[in-house]
Amino acid sequence: MSRLVLVCGMAQEGKTTFAFTKLLASADRLFVLDPVRSRPFNAKAEDAEAGMRPADVRVFRSYDEVAAFLLSGEARGKWRIMLRSENEDDYVRAIRYARHYRHVTLLVDEALVFTDNDEALEPLIKASRMGAHFGGGTGLTMWITAQRPMDLPRDIRSQLTQCYSYRQTEPGDLDFLAKKFSPEFAAAVAGLAPHHVVMFPPDQKAAREGRQGELEALDRGRRGGARDPVGREQEPRLGVPQADRRLSAEETDETHTLAAHGS
């Protein structure tokens, strides 16, 4: 199973909407870092135009609140939470303590915010390595969104295990996608229509086996079409099962819940 996933592509293509939709449908424990107040993370009531946050996603304003939640009995089982803080240090802490998260999917929206900041970069790189190499042990799956793959530092790019891309036009980015993933993938990315996305590897089975298969475009309908991205009709058509691995009985056992946090 993929552990470090990049969703990239030009501004306003739908990266955040896509990542949030996918993970709402598949992650048993979802922790969203929202440093730039992305519109798709607004509740519908707050933002009828683009908001899509379901009512059961709990929003915390500081990492202290998140830590208290993670250590509480409520953190057993399934949940989705979001950190929306004014203070960058809260996000830095959320990433630094990622090594303690168990069976959590961390969605880091707008990774550029973190890669620009030396304080945050080091823990982000560490979390990337953990996701990519020790995912089975720590249970951390990390998804990050960024406009351009080349905005990410090499240490993170090199760890990527899966990529969803909207259209890219910069030669440097296309070159990276061709070398890291495949020339066919890069060519598909360069030719995408607005709001279409392609993934690499093209399906979960191929991802596990480290091979490449057919690429399929996602078409959620035209802009201005149906607005509910979590609705069934908008389910991305990727030709792959939407549900990622579910927690097994063993994994939901108490001994596998969140480890205590350092201060």
Ligand X SMILES: Nc1ncnc2c1ncn2[C@@H]1O[C@H](COP(=O)(O)OP(=O)(O)OP(=O)(O)O)[C@@H](O)[C@H]1O
- Partner from Mg ion, ligand X, none binding residue 123, C-beta < 5-8 Å depending on class: none
Q: Per rule CB under 5 A, is residue 85 in the interface with Mg ion?
A: no
Tell me which stretch binds ligand X (CB under 6 A): 69-77, 111-119, 220-228, 249-257: 220-228
- Which string of x and - marks every residue 7-46 that binds Mg ion (by CB under 5 A)? --------xx---------------------x--------
Q: Per rule CB under 6 A, is residue 11 in the interface with ligand X?
A: yes
Q: Per rule CB under 5 A, is residue 159 in the interface with Mg ion?
A: no
Residues 6+ apart with CB under 8 A from 185: 163, 165, 177, 178, 198, 200, 212, 215
Residues 6+ apart with CB under 8 A from 202: 212, 213, 214, 215, 216, 238, 239, 240
Asked if 66 and 81 count as a contact pair (C-beta separation under 8 A), the reply is: yes
- Partner from Mg ion, ligand X, none binding residue 223, C-beta < 5-8 Å depending on class: ligand X
What minimum distance in Å lies between the beta carbon of 223 and ligand X? 4
User: In the sheet that 162-165 helps form, which strands lie side by side, from edge to edge?
Assistant: 58-60, 79-83, 29-33, 104-108, 140-146, 4-8, 162-165, 198-200
Among the listed residues 17, 115, 138, 141, the single contact to ligand X using CB under 6 A: 17
Q: Per rule CB under 6 A, is residue 62 in the interface with ligand X?
A: no
Q: How far is CA 128 from the centre of its chain?
A: 12
Q: Rounded distance, CA 140 to CA 97, Å?
A: 11
Among the listed residues 12, 26, 212, 252, the single contact to ligand X using CB under 6 A: 12
| Site size toward Mg ion, by CB under 5 A | 3
Q: Per rule CB under 6 A, is residue 223 in the interface with ligand X?
A: yes
